[in-house]
A and B are shown apart, each in its own frame.
Chain A
């Protein structure tokens, strides 16, 4: 069974700083998808970014980018120029190719301080 581990329960940075959230996963699959979701205090789960394992290029969405290291089974999220609105729980998730279930990590609580 696949597992997803987020080793940082909490992180805190100053506004405008860059922060990296860690995620590792365990799988024997070669084709899969990885996701970062954000859950702000409003509790809505919002997709931040998606990475396909067969793509070598790291996904980027504005201030959000990933460092996908397939051999190391690592999928970290970098937030550049952090903003107060980035304060949230961040969940890393894994999905096998042609599967439907997402496997979530336990989350990292990120606080951006003014």
Chain B
């Protein structure tokens, strides 16, 4: 089992640019979660999907953030336009059963 796969592992971009983060969940898992981690705010749940359908996006900070899950094996988190305060580590996690399994994260730096 390859685990949750995220790409890229590191992203450096300039303010105003569009950023797309990608996630491949563990096969067979029916829930997918996007988190953001910062020193100031800790781990924050941004959005989660069940069977590819967004269930709760109340954690998405603003309209600049959007997430999609076109199929059971792929999800994206997009930030457009990006701002320096979006700099953080973004995690994707998937769940089958009770436990969430996390990907390695994407460290995003917006200059």
Give the interface of A toward B (CB within 8 A).
33, 35, 37, 42-47, 50, 91, 95, 100-102, 104, 106-107
Can you identify 19 A-B contacts, CB atoms within 8 angstroms? A33-B98, A43-B104, A43-B105, A44-B102, A44-B104, A45-B93, A45-B102, A45-B105, A47-B99, A47-B100, A50-B98, A50-B99, A95-B98, A100-B48, A100-B50, A100-B55, A101-B56, A102-B100, A104-B43
Question: Is B61 close to A, CB under 8 A?
Answer: no
User: Is the CB–CB distance between B42 and A104 below 8 Å?
Assistant: yes
Question: Is B77 close to A, CB under 8 A?
Answer: no
Minimum C-beta distance from B11 to chain A (A)? 14
Q: Which residues of B contact A35 (CB under 8 A)?
A: 99
CB-based nearest B residue for A103: B45
Minimum C-beta distance from B59 to chain A (A)? 9
Which of A50, A101, A106 has most B Cβ within 10 Å?
A101
A42–B105 CA distance with the chains assembled, in angstroms: 10
